[in-house]
Each structure stands twice: as structure tokens, then as C-alpha cells.
Amino acid sequence: MVIYGVALLAGCMMAGLIVGDLLGQLLGIDSNLGGVGIAMLLLIFSTSWLKDRGRLPEATASGINFWNAMYIPIVVAMAASQNVAAAFSGGLVAILAGALAVVLGLVMVPVIAGKPRDDKASGAVPNSEGRLTSVSEPSR
Amino acid sequence: MLESLLELFDKYHLVAAFAVIGLTMYAAYWVSARFTRGKLHGSAIAIMIGLALAYFGGVTTEGTHGLADISLFSGLGLMGGGMLRDLAIIATAYGVQFSEIRKAGVRGVIALFAGVIVSFVAGAVIAVAFGYTDPIDITTIGAGAVTYIVGPVTGATLGASSEVVALSIAAGLVKSILTMIATPMTARLIGLDNPRSAMIFGGLIGTTSGVAAGLAATDARLVPYGAMTATFYTGLGILLAPTALFLVVRALF
């Protein structure tokens, strides 16, 4: 049933958030530390465990896939409910501080990633169940 | 007539939001195919339309939730809010190979620390350049350049003035919005086309909404990898900014 998939997704999310919350409390910070990331790992492990045992029928998977497919529309709704006006009325200090952080962050991506050729996978785009096969941009 | 129509939109706000976003997506993908021959992703155009509408909503209502402050579109706040966003982000992890994540593991962690520190320094340098000399002010603005959550949390911990806290939130919002726009434009330049660089990107930029939208506009298949590291970023920022980073700033000024 579709709800099994949705419930599995929701269960992973709540479990991850609980762990993230505990981690935050443990470190004494008023924030959830990586709850979403932990939930993602839980979902990866639980679905592959179920799939290996043939306990993940199409209907169950479609409950997860629906929310996967709703990701971009949800992000568009998120963009439409951002406080854009406040961002650009914060004055030059805010704009420059934010912009410099983005520029430096983007510049450092290739620095930390290193040259794609260093990768043992010869820079090829990994093929996880064909999900990334169509990314065929040659590496510079 | 018009009033009862508005009431209906207000009452069924989430359903109305689905319809509004559906129309926006359709328009965006049409523009993408018709005018850019698909070069600029439909999702990138949709996000920019969303941001433009959010600016319009913010200016007309003086609220804080963009277009969602206009009661006709209040459902956008729920649809694009943290709860459903996180649910959808987690759902993108379905089908991801764990080995991909492990491969970038160490560099992902390095990227996280580097990202928090570099963003903090960027914000702090700008603050100093604009004449701020109080270590609390400098730290709060620097923390704002990490994310718009780290800024106010740090400011509250250190006891910064409300103007400086507002400034730090604005800096974080600018970062998030610029990330949404700049990521698809610079993706090829910085080699953002595989899970590994996506994880490093998520760690370096970190602001969840910016990373989520930036990767969606670049290549939706990269989303789970970037989101995975970005999810630790705000927590790490809250951990470092008011403590270690503040001590460094205070030692310097």
C-alpha cells in the first residue's frame, strides 16, 4: 500500500529528527544537528534492506517516489515564501557579506573536490541504478 | 462574488498552492523550452519566478514570508515550509547508493568546517570594512553570513543589539537567495556535476534552502548528496560561531 511507503519515509524523518535533537542537546546547542541527514541515511538503509528481501513492492515505493517528485515544486513554493524584500533592504553590509560568502564557497568547491581525474573511478559519473547516467558533461 | 472567491482560496490554501505552483512550473518550463531551448532549466526559471513573486509579496504586505503573506497565496507557506521541504529532501535519498556518500565522506567533513569558517570570515571582513569594531557585532554579522539561523542564535547568545541581529539575518538571506540564482549559472565552472562535488558544495555553502533550490535548478539528481552535508552545517555553525570563532575575533579586536 502507498501509505506504507509514506509511513516509512515519515518514520525515518521523525527518527532522524529525534537523533539530531539529542545530538544538539548533547553538544549544548539550541538546534537540530543533522537530523535530516540522519533520516536520509535511515531511508537509504531501510529501503535497501527491504528491497534485498523483496519486501518493497511497487506501491510502497510509489509512496516515497511521490514526495521525491514533489521536491522541486516544494522548493519553488519555498522560494516564493522567502523574505526576499528583507534580504535586499538590509543595506550594503548584508548584501556584500552574503555575496562574498557565496562567491568564496563556490570557488572552494573545485579546490576541495580536487581534480576529477584524481578519482579512482577515472572521473566517470557514477551510475547508481542509472540515476546519474545522463550526466555526460565531459570533465573540463 | 470576489470576496467569497478569496475566502475559498484562503480556506483551501494548501490545495490552492498546489495549483498555483503547478501553473508556475508549467509557465517556467514553457519559457525554458521556448526561449532558452532548455539551456536554462525550467526549475531554475521557476525558482527565479518564485523569488520575484516573494519580493513582490514582501514589498506589498511588509510581511516576512514573501508571497505567502498575501492571503490568496497563504498555502505557499505550508507547502514551502520546513516540514514538507525536509520530507521531500529525505525522499530524494531513496535510491541513492551509500557507497557514493562514503566516497566523499572525509572531504565532505572538511568542506563543512571550511564552509562555516570561510563564510564567517567573509561576513566578519565585510563588517570590519564597514567600520564595526565591537567583537560581538563582528561575530554576529559573520555568523549571519554562515546562515540566517546561525546569525540570530549567535547574536542572542552574545547579547548583540537588535539592529546587528537584523543585519545578520539579512546577510544570511542574501546568501541563501544568491545561492539559488548563482548555483545553476556557475555549476559547470566549478565542476558541480557529480555526487562527490555536490556533497562538497553542500558542505561549503550549507544554507539549506539555498543548497536545496540551487541544486534543484542545476540537476535534481544531485540534491540528496548536497542536502546530506548541508543538513549538518547550521548545527556546526551554531556550535562554532559563538564559541571558538568568537574567541578568535575577540583576540584580534
A72-131 pLDDT, tens digit per residue, is: 899 899 889 888 888 787 788 899 999 999 999 999 999 988 865 444 444 444 444 434
Q: What is the mean pLDDT of residues B74-101?
A: 88
In a domain, B148, yes or no: yes
Q: Is B24 on the interface with A (CB under 8 A)?
A: yes
Task: Decide if A71 contacts B88 (C-beta within 8 A).
Answer: yes
Residues B44 and B159 in one domain: no
Residue B39 has pLDDT above 80, yes or no: no
What's the number of domains chain B is made of? Answer: 2
In a domain, A130, yes or no: no
Residue A139 has pLDDT above 50, yes or no: no
In a domain, B87, yes or no: no
Residues A52 and A121 in one domain: no
Residues B246 and B194 in one domain: yes
Residues A44 and A103 in one domain: no
Cβ neighbours of residue B69 closer than 8 Å, sequence gap 6 or more: B57, B58, B61, B63
Rg for chain A, CA atoms, rounded: 20
Residues A96 and A66 in one domain: no
Residues A69 and A106 in one domain: no
> What's the pLDDT score for residue A115?
65
B149-200 pLDDT, tens digit per residue, is: 889 888 888 888 888 888 898 899 899 999 999 999 999 899 889 899 999 9
Q: Which domain range does residue A32 map to? A: 1-82
The SS3 call for residue B189 is coil
CA distance to partner chain B, nearest, from residue A80 (Å): 4
Residues A25 and A93 in one domain: no
State the greatest distance between any 2 C-alpha atoms of chain A, in Å, as a whole number: 57
In a domain, B6, yes or no: yes
Contact B153 A31 (CB under 8 A): yes
Residues B196 and B225 in one domain: yes
Residues B71 and B102 in one domain: no
In a domain, B119, yes or no: yes
Other residues' Cβ atoms within 10 Å of the Cβ of residue B21 = 25
Contact B67 A81 (CB under 8 A): yes
Alpha helices in B187-243 (DSSP H): 195-205, 208-218, 223-230, 233-240
Other residues' Cβ atoms within 10 Å of the Cβ of residue B10 = 14
Residues B51 and B163 in one domain: no
A38-81 pLDDT, tens digit per residue, is: 999 999 999 999 999 999 999 999 999 999 999 889 989 988 98
What's the number of domains chain A is made of? Answer: 2
Residues B74 and B110 in one domain: no
CA distance to partner chain A, nearest, from residue B95 (Å): 7
> What's the pLDDT score for residue A116?
57
> CA distances (Å), B80 to each of A76, B49, B66, B75, in order?
7, 14, 11, 8
Alpha-carbon gap, residue B223 to B210, rounded angstroms: 11
In a domain, A136, yes or no: no
Angle at A60 between CA A54 and CA A65, to 5 degrees: 115
* Mean pLDDT (chain B, rounded): 89
In a domain, A111, yes or no: yes
Q: Is B234 on the interface with A (CB under 8 A)?
A: yes
> What's the pLDDT score for residue A129?
40
DSSP A7: H
In a domain, B93, yes or no: no
Other residues' Cβ atoms within 10 Å of the Cβ of residue B54 = 27
In this prediction the pTM is 0.82
> What's the pLDDT score for residue A126?
45
> What's the pLDDT score for residue A133?
39
> What's the pLDDT score for residue B160?
85
Q: Which residue has the cell 558541480?
A: B192
In a domain, A131, yes or no: no
In a domain, A133, yes or no: no
Residues A48 and A37 in one domain: yes
What number is the ipTM of this complex?
0.85
Residues B232 and B169 in one domain: yes
Residues A37 and A94 in one domain: no
Residues A27 and A68 in one domain: yes
DSSP B181: H
In a domain, B115, yes or no: yes
Q: Choose the closest CB to B219 out of A43, A99, A135.
A: A135
Residues B113 and B76 in one domain: no
In a domain, A138, yes or no: no
Q: Which domain range does residue B45 map to? A: 2-80
In a domain, B151, yes or no: yes
Query: Which among B80, B108, B133 is the end of a domain?
Result: B80
Q: What is the mean pLDDT of residues A9-14?
A: 96
Minimal CA–CA distance to A40: which of A24, A66, A20?
A20
In a domain, B27, yes or no: yes
DSSP for B84-136 reads HHHHHHHHTTTT--HHHHHHTHHHHHHHHHHHHHHHHHHHHHHHHHTT---HH
Residues B63 and B159 in one domain: no
Nearest CA in chain A to B233: A34
